[in-house]
Every structure is written in structure tokens, then in C-alpha cells.
């Protein structure tokens, strides 16, 4: 029941029966998940990376907060943009701060204090935002049509990597230098050793 993870006896809190009405708690245990950073961070960091045009890359520097705090990580991109993992008063949402105002986005709302921005209408020739009502169907359609799905594997991989790097930074409680093209930390054996975990038994992926 644990797949490639180190073996642990079954625990219904981690993997409850199918009759359970709620979310299983495996995500909050380090042996199986990365807490809310990899849970909701996957949704929110993904929006930020997409907006920055960086969803095939990522930050180059991660600056951990002081005193072992689990909020406050600063993520710096090569172009100078900084993304902060902070609680700004709106649960599970992203806030963009610019010279002309702010934009706030979640999976359920979009708002801005920039006059007229939320009322902009597309003109002829503009490209509307693509929409996927069903990611499963979108994936099947992409296979049939030989096109990219709305959320492709590289985007998902980079988002998951970002979340895990943030957790590594919180664990080590120090600044990390990251090279997105090589997907390795710069001159940091301790951090690089945390990019993977031991596999149980014959589980492995290095032959793929």
C-alpha cells in the first residue's frame, strides 16, 4: 500500500477506506507528502509560474526565513522577479504586485485594483485563454490529436519541483542556489541529496 516508499504498517488516517468522506492525511506526513507546500502550493505556485512565463523553468535562488519559520520563503528568478510564500490575507490565492497596482487570482476569483483591467473585452485577433472542463478528456484528446494538453507533463514537473525545493529550503533553513536547466543545487551536496529518497525493494526509476 506504500508503493516505493519505505514500508510502514497500514494506517487508516493516511489511507482511509473508500467510504471516508474527506481528504486522506498522507499529505501531511513527510514519508508520503510535503504538507500544504506541495498540496496547495502545486496550485498556487503553478499560477504564478504561468503568469511569469516560467512554467518550463523556475527560480534561481531560494531564501529561507529566519528562526525556522515555515512561511516567508523568497524565490528569486533570473530576471529579478521575486515570489514570496506568505499569508497575505486570502487563503489559497496568488497576489501580483506591480508598479500600477495589484492583481489577485485563485481558482475561483480574479480581481484587481487597476482601473478597467477586469472589464477588458477581447478584440478581433486576440487569443482567448484556453479552457479545459475535464483534464482527463483533454489528455486523451491530446494523445489522439498529437497536441499538448492544457497542463503538460513539463509544467507539472516544474511546479512539483518548485514545491519540493521550497520544502528543502525550509528544512535546511538557509539560502539555496538552484540551476533550473540542470535541475541541481549549485555547490550544495546536502541539498542535492534531498532531491530523491531511497526506494523500497526492487522499486526504481533510473532505467526509464
Q: Exposed (0-12), middle (13-18) or buried (19+): which is 91, by Cβ within 10 Å?
A: exposed
Residue pointed to by grid coordinates 506504500 = 2
Residues 183 and 57 sit within 8 Å (Cβ to Cβ): no
C-alpha R_g of the chain: 19
Torsion sign, CA atoms 84, 159, 180, 129: negative
Cβ neighbours of residue 200 closer than 8 Å, sequence gap 6 or more: 2, 4, 5, 6, 7
Residue-wise over 141-179: b if at least 16 C-beta within 10 A, else e? eeeeeeeebebeeebeebbbbbbbbbbbbbebeeebebe
pLDDT of residue 208: 55
Three-state DSSP class for 26? helix
Per-residue pLDDT of the chain (208 residues; tens, 9 = 90+): 888 888 999 999 898 988 888 888 999 998 899 999 999 999 999 999 999 999 999 999 999 999 999 999 999 999 999 999 999 888 789 999 999 999 999 988 899 999 999 888 888 988 888 878 898 999 999 999 999 998 889 999 999 999 999 999 999 999 999 999 999 999 999 999 999 988 888 888 766 5
* Per-residue confidence (pLDDT) for residue 199, from 0 to 100: 85
Q: What's residue 81's pLDDT?
A: 96
For the chain, list the strands marked E by DSSP: 61-63, 74-76, 82-84, 94-98, 101-105, 110-112, 176-179, 184-185
Amino acid at each position: 500500500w506504500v508503493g516505493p516508499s519505505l514500508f510502514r504498517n497500514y494506517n487508516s488516517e493516511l489511507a482511509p477506506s473508500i467510504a471516508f468522506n474527506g481528504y486522506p492525511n498522507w499529505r501531511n506526513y513527510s514519508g508520503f507528502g510535503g504538507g500544504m507546500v506541495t498540496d496547495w502550493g502545486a496550485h498556487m505556485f503553478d499560477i504564478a509560474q504561468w503568469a511569469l512565463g516560467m512554467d518550463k523553468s523556475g527560480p534561481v535562488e531560494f531564501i529561507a526565513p529566519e528562526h525556522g519559520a515555515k512561511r516567508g520563503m523568497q524565490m528569486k528568478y533570473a530576471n529579478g522577479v521575486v515570489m514570496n510564500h506568505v499569508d497575505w490575507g486570502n487563503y489559497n490565492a496568488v497576489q501580483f504586485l506591480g508598479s500600477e497596482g495589484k492583481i489577485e487570482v485563485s481558482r475561483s476569483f480574479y480581481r484587481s485594483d487597476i482601473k478597467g483591467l477586469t472589464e477588458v473585452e477581447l478584440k478581433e485577433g486576440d487569443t482567448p485563454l484556453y479552457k479545459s472542463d475535464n483534464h482527463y478528456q483533454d489528455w486523451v484528446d491530446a494523445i489522439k490529436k498529437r497536441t499538448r494538453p492544457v497542463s503538460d507533463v513539463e509544467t507539472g514537473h516544474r511546479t512539483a519541483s518548485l514545491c519540493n525545493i521550497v520544502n528543502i529550503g525550509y528544512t535546511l533553513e538557509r539560502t539555496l542556489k538552484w540551476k533550473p536547466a540542470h535541475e541541481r543545487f549549485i555547490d550544495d551536496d546536502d541539498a542535492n541529496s534531498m532531491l530523491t529518497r531511497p526506494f523500497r525493494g526492487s522499486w526504481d526509476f533510473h532505467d526509464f
